[in-house]
Amino acid sequence: MQPFTVLTATAVPLEIAKIDTGMILPGRFMRRHRRPGHDYSEAFLYDLRFDEKGHPRPEFSLNQPSYSKASIVVTGADFGCGSSREGAAYAVMDYGFRALVGPSFAEIFYGNCLQNGILPVVLPELTISEIWEQLRAKPGVELTIDLPDQVLIDADGRRHPFDINPLRKDRLIHGIDDIDVTLEHKEAIIDFETTRRKAFPWLPTSANI
């Protein structure tokens, strides 16, 4: 997992509430493989970015050149609600975003983001509106998100502190995901299974299937 410390980058406004995981990763893309160079970047918010004929919607913020280098999305409330599809977080990541800023996020989606190196930042609704104004006034302007200090610095230099679970914060800063954490206990796992196999030698394996 890519570590996240301090990110200064262009932010794009996404002034829509309740963007659900079905919009983030439309169902028809869900049967696709994810490989380097062939990932979910195309699928990300496809139906918002493109019209029925597959033409980019010029009015949609993500399609505007001034936001093309954005790594931060500033979004409306309840981002990531709906189905628990874990591919939605991959789509955000594959499109190139490292941080999402919004008034609220759906719980499962929030967890999946942290699990994949994406930082969701929750700020009050009013603050989000002010940041949207800044991003509209000066398209392409940068925000800074300082995870160690738990603060977002907006385009006017104002500092907005945010909360994050200390365990998740630590893992994100060091780029360690759940598997890395678990493998710190690898010796305990091996000891456990050795003892277990001795006690219950009949436990099934699928070797002969």
Partner 1 sequence: MTEKKTLFQKIWDEHVIVTSPQGEDLLYADFNFINEGQSFLAFDQLRIEGRESLRPQQHLAITDHYLPTKNRERGPAGIEDKEIRNVVEMLANNSTDFALPHINMNHPKQGIAHVVGPELGFSQPGMLITCNDSHTATHGAYGALAIPIGGSNQLRHVIATQTVWLHRPKTMRVLIDGTLPESVTAKDVILTIIGKTGIGGATGYAIEYAGTAISAMSMEARMTICNMSIEAGARIGMIAPDETTFKDLSNRLMVPKGADWDKAVAYWKTLPTDDGAVFDHEIRIDATEVAPMITWGTSPEDCAPIDGLVPDPASFADVERARHVKRALDYMNLKPKTRFVDIPIDRVFIGSCVNSRIEDLRSAAAVLKGRKSVVPGMVSPGSTDVKRQAEAEGLDQIFRDAGLDWRDSGCSMCNGSNGEIVAAGERCASTTNRNFEGRQGRNAMTHIMSPSMVAAAAVAGHLADIRHTFDTPSSFSASASAVRN
Q: Which residues bind partner 1 (CB under 8 A)?
A: 30-31, 33-36, 84-87, 90, 112, 115, 167, 178-179, 182-183, 185-186, 188-189, 192-193, 196, 200-207, 209
CB of 119 vs partner 1, minimal distance in Å: 17
Q: How far is the CB of 115 from partner 1 (least distance, A)?
A: 5
CA distance 149 to 136: 27
State which residue, 29 or 60, has the beta carbon closest to partner 1: 29
Nearest approach, Cβ of 120 to partner 1 (angstroms)?
Answer: 16
Task: Specify the pairing of strand 159-161 against strand 151-153.
Answer: antiparallel
* Crossing angle between the packed helical segments 166-174 and 107-115, to the nearest 10 degrees: 30
**Smaller CB separation from partner 1, 100 or 143:** 100
Give least dist CB 107 to partner 1, A. Answer: 13
In the complex with partner 1, the residue whose CB is nearer, 68 or 165, is 165
List, as one string, the DSSP characters of 133-193: HHHHHSTT-EEEEETTTTEEE-TTS-EEE----HHHHHHHHHT--HHHHHHTTHHHHHHHH
Residue 26, burial from CB neighbour count under 10 angstroms (0-12, 13-18, 19+)? middle
Closer to partner 1 by CB, 124 or 175: give it: 175
Nearer to partner 1 (CB atom), residue 48 or residue 93 = 93
Spell out the alpha helix ranges (H) of 82-147. 87-95, 107-115, 125-137
Residue 6 C-beta: closest distance to partner 1, Å: 24
